[in-house]
Structure 1
Amino acid sequence: TFFRTRTGLGEGNPSRFAPRQVLFAHAAISDPRVGRLLHGQRIARQGFGLAEASERDMDLVLDDWRLARERSGAMRALAGGEGFQLDLVLTPTQPILLQGEGGFSRKGPRPEQASWYYTLPHLQVSGRLEREGRWRPVRGQAWLDREWSSTLLDPAAVGWDWTGINLDDGAALTAFRVRDARGKSLWTGGSLRTADGRLWTAPNGAVAFEGGRTWTSPRTGAVYPVAPTVRLMTPAGERRWVLTPLFDDQELDSRPSGGPVYWEGAVRVPGGSGYLELTGYAAPLRL
């Protein structure tokens, strides 16, 4: 995951060292044999070819990490961390999926609480993974989200729950809710694109995250709902998926790179697999 933020600092400073833009990034491996995330992170002010984000195409660099679109349309990803390195090629197999209203995804009751947001589900992955000094070939499926915004969360919001699922039949499920301090949904959204390309975009109130088993972090004391049931109230009737984590301890502490503590990990559903993100449980999230 790569992030780019405008700091509001040094806007009138002509120095190339002025921290007008900051890039930070996280990479993690979920390995049940380890039982926790293996994690790496980077942070730097933009500039000097060491930390750059192109405004013309997908081309991000942060020290020795890279995410860039190649001429073929595939994407190359290089990243690593605690005991691992990734060198992956991600090839689209489906058209871009525009979230929200033609890519404008509401996140709250006020119109400015929104993001521009698109998804590339069912990416074909090939490449290699290094663990403990040994490289091995890997292949599989992936999911890419691209989102940008100037104002995102309502002041009453403390965090969100989000999931993206590649379903085995070629369908793609996105679901999220923004929560307040009582755990009530302030806003919900998502989409379901079927294998034949039909897209349903969920209006506010048509998505629910319910119940399920929780896990308490021994490090932060945060209680995460790691196995929720996601419900979509579609015009054709209710659809539901029970999410099961690959393992419970997929908490990510990004405070060394200026981020929060949150839970982000691999999950399975009957007939698919993907990712679940749970923020604002260790402490209210401030963006």
Structure 2
Amino acid sequence: MRFGGFKRLRRFSTSRRLWVALVLLALLAAVLLLQQRSEPPDEDSGNGYAGLGEDAMEYAQAEPSHSLQFPGDHGPHPDYRIEWWYLTANLEDENGEPLGIQWTLFRQALASPDDEDDDSDSPWSTDQLWMAHAALSTPQDHWFDERFARGRPGPDQQGQAGVTTEPFSAWLDDWQLMSRDRDSGDLDSLSVTARGIDDDNTFGYRLDLTAEGPLVLHGVDGFSQKTADGQGSFYYSQPFYRVEGQVEIDGEMRNVSGRAWLDREWSSQIMGPAQQGWDWFSLHLADGYKLMAFRLRGGGEDGGDYLSGSWISPDGNVTNLDDDAIELIPTEHSEIEDREIPTQWRLRLPGQDLDVTVKARHPDRWLDTVFPYWEGDVTVEGSHSGIGFLEMTGY
């Protein structure tokens, strides 16, 4: 999901420069190793956004026959190449000003479980890399930061970054998403913290999340198909969080409240080789319904796009939406970082009598991270009203 090219470094400390250098060296070594062990790709084949369409090789494959199990699946899946714990929140401060936050932890495997060449005796050996993103936005401004860590060898996930299940805890340094009930492995009651620096501006947040509905499994029992030929990922969400807490902007503390959405996803090849990126919506509607919808550009029937989604009732019942049930049409574009980015959309679900305009609160929500993408809060107007988040990659 958010992997691309190294574009710029913002005011990294010496220790963070060291970590970035280590990460890039490890990534380079992994790419060279994979190139040596795999067959050359077809001339006209791609690998999608940041290589997420590359062949899964010896990694575990996401398949619809697998049944998700909790709390175990809240934790890491090192047999799969890529996964994330992805939180977004639509908030308001005490003056009614809207704010958006993002907290994301990514895990990337560098070698498949069948790789026998890992020098596990070395204190620097690792087969896992971790990356975290944090962002905070107001209607006028947008701040973001990122951090990196290497995983420790072996099954022990303790260290600079990792995830445990009982109690649930996900972290990279002091950026943490964890259960407030230390005897629980579920996701019903969490806290999230992060503090970063963007162009000398400090920002941060500490929020308490309380689920008011059940977990939602997308696709077929949690297997979310991503291409017409059947490949996909395991994907579930907790879209029912109520939020209370504080955000910090340059030392100023604001009390905030609102709604949050947590996505969990893992796969070894989340895209097909012909797909270059995606447009992903998570929406809270005023009548209590929620919507997850995505368009992967390419990979559909006859070379078209592949669309899918979940229509979620206020009590958590899910209606799966296939390609014929969703219309996603960009209606306005903005030039951001020399890219034409669609920042307003018409979204229709004829079967649900939904016909809305989804619009970015502010077009400039580009995350110029090591792996750049667009992520920001949106408004919903039309047959339904609401708020939510939009993510766009591969532009």
TM-score bracket, normalised by the shorter chain, equals 0.7 to 0.9
Aligned sequence identity (%)? 35
2:211 partner amino acid? P
1:191 to 310, 319, 328: 310
CA distance in 2, matches of 1:57, 1:241: 40
Change in 2 beyond 3 A, CA 1:38/1:21: same
Residue 12 (1) aligns with residue 115 (2): no
Structure 1 gap ranges (5+): 282-287
For residues 177 and 111 of structure 2, the distance between their equivalents in structure 1, rounded to whole angstroms, comes to 25
1:159 equivalent to 2:277? Answer: yes
AA in 2 matched with 1:279: T
Distance in 2 (CA, whole Å) between partners of 1:74 and 1:152 is 29
**Counterpart residue identity of residue 8, structure 1:** A
Q: Deviations over 1:57-107 (max 9, x none)?
A: 631111121111232731111112232111111110111111111111001
| Residues 197 and 50 of structure 1: CA distance in aligned 2, closer, same or farther (over 3 Å) | closer
Moved over 4 A (4+): none
Provide the rounded CA distance (Å) in 1 between the counterparts of 2:190 and 2:315.
25
Partner of 1:284: none
Structure 1 residues 126-137: aligned runs within 5 Å: 126-137=244-255
2:146 maps to: 41
- Give matches, 1:1-287, under 5 Å: 1-8=104-111, 12-14=118-120, 15-34=122-141, 37-47=142-152, 49-54=159-164, 58-71=168-181, 73-82=188-197, 83-111=202-230, 113-180=231-298, 185-217=304-336, 220-234=337-351, 238-255=353-370, 259=371, 261-270=372-381, 271-281=385-395
Distance 1:196 1:63, change over 3 A: closer
Greater RCO, 1 or 2 (C-alpha within 8 Å, sep 6+): 2
What SS does the aligned partner of 2:323 have?
A: coil
**Counterpart amino acid of residue 170 in structure 1:** G
Q: Give the partner amino acid of 2:143.
A: L
* Cα deviation code 1:204-247 (max 9, x no counterpart): 34222103111001xx311111101112243x5x5222101111
Separation (CA, whole Å) in 1 of partners of 2:163 and 2:134 = 17
Distance 1:240 1:153 in 2: 28
- One-letter code of the match for 1:231? R
- Alpha-carbon spacing, 1:90–1:244, altered in 2? closer, same or farther (3 Å): same
TM-score w.r.t. the length of structure 2 is 0.64
Would the aligned equivalents of 2:215 and 2:316 in 1 still touch at CA under 8 Å?
no
Q: Which has the larger share of helix?
A: 2
Unpaired runs of at least 5, structure 2: 1-103, 153-157
For normalisation by structure 1, the TM-score amounts to: 0.87
- C-alpha deviation, 1:130, in angstroms: 1.3
The aligned amino acid for 2:216 is L
Larger Rg belongs to: 2
C-alpha distance in structure 2 between counterparts of 1:45 and 1:177, whole Å: 32
SS in 2 for 1:170: coil
